[in-house]
Amino acid sequence: MDKMTLEQRHRCMSAIKSKDTKPELMVRKFLFSCGFRFRLNHPRLPGHPDLVLRKYRTVIFVNGCFWHGHEGCKYFVLPKTNTEFWQNKIERNRNRDKRDRLQLAAMGWHCITIWECQLKPKVRQQTLESLAYTLSHVYLEDRRLRTYEPVEETFSVAAEPEESYGKPRSDR
């Protein structure tokens, strides 16, 4: 959200109010109207993140509270029948999520998880605004590394995962 014009900011904020939108689509609309550019469902990254923002070295997962077992969330309630089946299933999902995030972090990606409940109308604006804030913060941090720590930079280029999956795309 660096250098945002008034008009951009207006579009960005009005995207928050759009109704009847699926959670993932809501995040996409918001980020797009704020001027963030991303790719969808990168097939070669662990866990197939919903959104990939290369410029920010950040991936975003938009998670359903039930399927991904959102701890302590009122939308995560195990069914009264076949409880054990569901419990095992969701535990597996959780473990997989954890493993994917560790892998992504090791590859140098920032991981952001947005839960479906955080996109309910009452809290949506706060969630999306803090997402935009987090992204610009991540960006500034990375730039600082680049500017002041040339040694670090050499190291992180060597560990850069983008190298391993071919040509950069023109989706910026």
Q: Interface residues with Zn ion (CB under 5 A)?
A: 65, 70, 73, 75, 115, 117
Tell which residue, 115, 107, 121, 94, has the closest CA to residue 18. 121
State the minimum distance, in angstroms, from the CB of residue 164 to Zn ion: 34
Nearer to Zn ion, 90 or 117 (CB): 117
Contact 119, 23 (CB under 8 A): yes
State the minimum distance, in angstroms, from the CB of residue 63 to Zn ion: 8
Nearer to Zn ion, 65 or 128 (CB): 65
Nearer to Zn ion, 58 or 118 (CB): 118
How far is residue 83 CA from its own chain's centroid? 30
State the minimum distance, in angstroms, from the CB of residue 156 to Zn ion: 33
- DSSP for 13-58 reads HHGGG--S--HHHHHHHHHHHTT---EE--TTSTT--SEEEGGGTE
Nearer to Zn ion, 45 or 119 (CB): 119
